[in-house]
Amino acid sequence: MADYSWPEADRRAQIGARPARLDGPVKSTGFAKYPSDQNPRGLLAAKILTCPHAHARIVRIDTSAAEAMAGVRVVHVIQGEGSEIQWAGDEVAAVAAVTEDVARDALRAIQVDYEVLPHFVTEEDRDQAPGAREAGERAEGDPDAAFATAHRTVERTLGMPQMAHMCLEPHGQVCSWDGDELEVDASTQAVSTLAGQFATELGVPASQVRIRTEYMGGGFGSKFSPDRWGIVGAELARKAGAPVKLFLERDQEVTVAGSRPSAFARIRAAADEQGKLVAWDSDSWGSGGLPGTGQTPLPYVFSRLPNRRTRHTSVPTNLAGSRAWRAPNHPQACFLTMAVLDDLADELGLDPIDFLERNLDLTGRPDTYREQLGIAAEMASWKERWQPRGREREGAVQRGLGVSVHTWGGRGHSSNCDVTVHPDGAVEARIGSQDIGTGTRTIVAQVLAETFGLELHQVRVSLGDNVYPQSGPSGGSSTVGGVTASTRRAAQDALREVLVHVAPRLEAEPEQLLAEGGRVFVDGDSSRGVSWREAAAQIGGAPISVQGRNPGRGRLISSGVGGVQIAEVEVDIDTGVVHIERMIAVQDCGLIINRRLAESQVYGGLIMGVGYALYEEWIPDPVSGRLLNADMEFYKLAGLVDVGSLEVHMMTGPGYDERGVIGLGEPPVISPGAAISNAVANAIGVRVPYLPLTPDRVLDALAGRGGPA
């Protein structure tokens, strides 16, 4: 029976190398056609009318004026009279018209009368929440006794608000019908699973729904479903008998198309005289809009902390439901935990790295964290530069260092890949995955090229289409493990078939042959060989086509990683402005396929982390129930000049590579909020209890006020 494995380190030509991403040239020249760039013949433009109230009932809706307008093709009521709307921005009606401007004109002509109902949008104020649900209490050990005898205890109330995914390409799609066959150019993270969801809603067999996503402009966990606008777009196209492009306007994108749940908690933590954690008590709450939110995993990473009690309350609000946001729940849990531990270290008079090291036995991977903490401290010159909070301070600008640790799973998802070897030597992989910007196309090509001993330009990868074999949605850092494992298995099987055909000619057994450097030759006697092209010619007239599957045999992937980050900041205590000087990331992800792309993922995580640490938050208006910043002026992303110097160290080589491939998208975005908050506390001497660390919150903390979240 065939075995599947990665080549030994000294035999790798592609795995672990740094090739540039294959779609770089089409992206940097603007030649890449994204779903929202598709302009098929006869295209109509669609727009959606949304409800301006956070809670209301539709009393009357009159679309007659819109229907009568020149250029309007279809007016579609999504939620009719009597419907109860639960968040501002919910979809009420849609229009397809000859141009976007005409569609917008038509939306303005639709008259809707609402009965406005009471709403609640400020979940930090949980005592006022009408629908709060307690999730119950979990306890282990005897926290009360442990707190009573502890050496030092801290108690903090901390939190971070809801924030947006803010995909640059908005959610949406172009829908085209040919009879009862539907084609959807969708901006999605889930090419292989979308068709079934469209089919169910539209009453056509899934076999008649084609999904294409060659490129897409960002998802971050928010693009797994057709969504209501997908179904509406398909309905408009069916009624109009013409292709319909429907992408959300920016305010809709921010308001309804993806947010990360908030997390607040009142936390007590205690340690003994040796600086060992002995007790934890947390009372957490948060909201993911109308559905509320589940419990954040506390205490984070140090999950074997003895004597702990956790309670959680889910707070529903009249805001659109949250979606999986890169590393769901982890950034929140990380901030809440690491901020409290950092404050406890200060209370104990310990260097926080020393404090974390004393407690690593409470984590799932103490050796990994110990090694990573050492490397990160070295990179930051921590020992020479870290000073305790209680130091003398002069001047307005204060420097500080902060540290955080994180973990993630990242096991490869289910994936199928067809690999074909043609008699002329051409090699191709077809896989129903998608490249959401992580470089999936490139790493699949690297695995192909590695297996057949070819160069990247000699192999072809087709993805982003559900006509290819099913591969999982790109979420939870599951793609790299899934697609590399299915591709490797298919490629190894296909190569074996080729070698069976080549072996007689080389008077050798197939098992003795290697495919490397564009040749097939006898292991140990490279003079007995043929070019790859000649080898492929031996297979006869028909191509060899093999499907590989994940999960499957062999040790190609695993899961479970650790990471450490250190932030260095400057805080102006007169203005409250926080400036990132430097971010350091030390990250493990098993066997790295493409070093350059892996580093890009970590840089990206750091940068996104600076965004939510310093700038990003949904700001709902308690009076109107609407977001006050559903745009890009007042919902602020980090810019080029905001992120400081970024340094990444990947844990790789012996001890890591043997674990196989593990996902990397989520881990690096988890720690920045905690590390930056800890660095600010170190700089100014007090904890700023809420993220993002806006100047008003920093000044409130300096003035001894907790301040509003």
Task: State the residues that interact with other proteins by CB under 8 A.
Answer: 18, 20-21, 23-34, 36-37, 39, 45, 99-101, 166-170, 215-218, 220, 249-250, 436-439, 596-597, 599-600, 603-608, 631-633, 637-641, 643, 646
Q: Identify the H or E element spanning 427.
A: strand 427-431
Tell me which residue of 559, 582, 702 sits closest to 648, measured CA to CA.
582
Yes or no: say if 85 and 112 are a contact pair by the CB < 8 Å rule: no
Give backbone dihedrals phi and psi of 492, rounded to 5 degrees, phi first.
Answer: -65, -40
Q: How far apart are CA 198 and CA 179, in angstroms?
A: 16
Q: How many Cβ atoms from other residues are within 10 Å of residue 343's Cβ?
A: 22
CA distance 373 to 385: 15
Q: How does strand 578-588 pair with strand 561-572?
A: antiparallel
Dist CA 77 CA 66 (whole Å) = 12
In this structure, are residues 689 and 634 in contact, taking their beta carbons and an 8 Å threshold?
A: no
Specify whether the CB–CB gap between 217 and 17 falls below 8 A. no
Q: What minimum distance in Å lies between the beta carbon of 599 and other proteins?
A: 8
Instruction: Output the smallest distance, CB 640 to other proteins, in A.
Output: 5
Residue 33 vs 383, nearer CB to other proteins = 33
User: Taking Cα atoms as reference points, which of 86, 94, 354, 419 lies closest to residue 231?
Assistant: 94
Please, which residue, 60 or 108, has the CB nearer to other proteins?
Answer: 108
Question: Which amino acid, residue 527?
Answer: S
Distance between CA atoms of 386 and 436, rounded to whole angstroms?
39
Closest CB to other proteins among 660 and 692? 692
Q: How far is the CB of 202 from other proteins (least distance, A)?
A: 26
Cβ neighbours for 340, distance < 8 A, ≥ 6 positions apart: 154, 156, 158, 267, 269
- State how far the Cα of 293 lies from the Cα of 271, in Å rounded to an integer: 30
574 phi and psi, to 5 degrees? -80, -35
Sign of dihedral through CA atoms 350, 679, 665, 690?
positive
* Cβ distance to other proteins smaller for residue 292 or 476: 476
Least spacing, CB of residue 323 vs other proteins, in Å: 15
Closer to other proteins by Cβ: residue 25 or 241: 25
For other proteins, which is the closer residue by CB, 167 or 699? 167
Contact (CB, 8 A) for 261 and 162: yes
Cβ closer to other proteins: 169 or 183?
A: 169
Q: Distance between CA 88 and CA 92 in Å, rounded?
A: 11
Closer CB to other proteins, 545 or 600, in the complex: 600
Nearer to other proteins, 45 or 691 (CB): 45
Output the smallest distance, CB 254 to other proteins, in A: 10
Please, what is the minimum distance in Å from the beta carbon of residue 163 to other proteins?
A: 12
Rounded least distance, CB 210 to other proteins, Å: 21
Task: Quickly list H helices, 321-365.
Answer: 330-348, 352-358
- The amino acid at residue 466 is N
Supply the minimum distance, in Å, between the C-beta of residue 20 and other proteins. 5
Least separation in angstroms between residue 359's CB and other proteins is 31
DSSP label of 132: -
From the centroid of its chain, how far is CA 293?
18
C-beta of 533: minimal distance to other proteins in Å?
A: 25
Pick the closer one to other proteins by CB: 347 or 581. Answer: 581
In the bound state with other proteins, the residue whose beta carbon lies nearer, of 170 and 233, is: 170
- Of 136 and 639, nearer to other proteins (C-beta) is 639
Task: Give the nearer residue to other proteins in terms of CB position, either 119 or 223.
Answer: 223
Minimum Å gap between C-beta 317 and other proteins is 25
Q: In what order do the strands lie in the sheet with 181-186?
A: 72-77, 91-97, 44-50, 244-247, 172-178, 181-186, 209-212
Q: What is the dihedral of CA 194, 195, 198, 203, to 10 degrees?
A: -160
Question: What's the min distance (Å) between Cβ of 196 and other proteins?
Answer: 25
Which one, 36 or 314, has the nearer CB to other proteins? 36
Nearest to 519 by CA among 540, 491, 498: 498
Residues near 85 by Cβ (< 8 Å), separated by ≥ 6?
A: 51, 53, 55, 56, 57, 58, 79, 92, 114
Report residue 614: phi and psi, to 5°: -110, -30
Name the β-bridge partners of 134. 313
Smallest separation, CB 681 to other proteins (Å): 25
Q: Which of 393, 690, 403 is nearest to 571 (CA)?
A: 393
CB of 42 to other proteins, least distance (A): 13
Spatial separation of the C-alpha atoms in residues 545 and 267, rounded to whole Å: 57
Q: How far is the CB of 525 from other proteins (least distance, A)?
A: 37
Contact assessment for residue 451 and residue 465, using Cβ atoms and an 8 Å cutoff? no
Which residues contact residue 654 at a Cβ distance below 8 angstroms, ignoring those fewer than 6 apart?
9
510/329 Cα distance (integer angstroms): 50
Count the neighbouring beta carbons within 10 Å of the beta carbon of residue 189: 27
Nearer to other proteins, 154 or 580 (CB): 580
Which C-beta is closer to other proteins: that of 71 or that of 518?
71
According to DSSP, the residues that pair with 218 across neighbouring strands are none
Cα 297–chain centre separation: 18
Residue keyed to tokens 């310990």: 350
In angstroms, the CA 281 to CA 268 distance is 5
Residue found by looking up tokens 């172009």 in the block: 174
Least separation in angstroms between residue 157's CB and other proteins is 30
Based on CB atoms, which residue is closest to other proteins, 25 or 136? 25
Instruction: Give the shortest CB-124-to-other proteins separation in angstroms.
Output: 26
> Rounded to the nearest whole angstrom, what is the least distance from the CB of residue 556 to other proteins in the complex?
25
388 vs 639, beta carbon nearer other proteins: 639
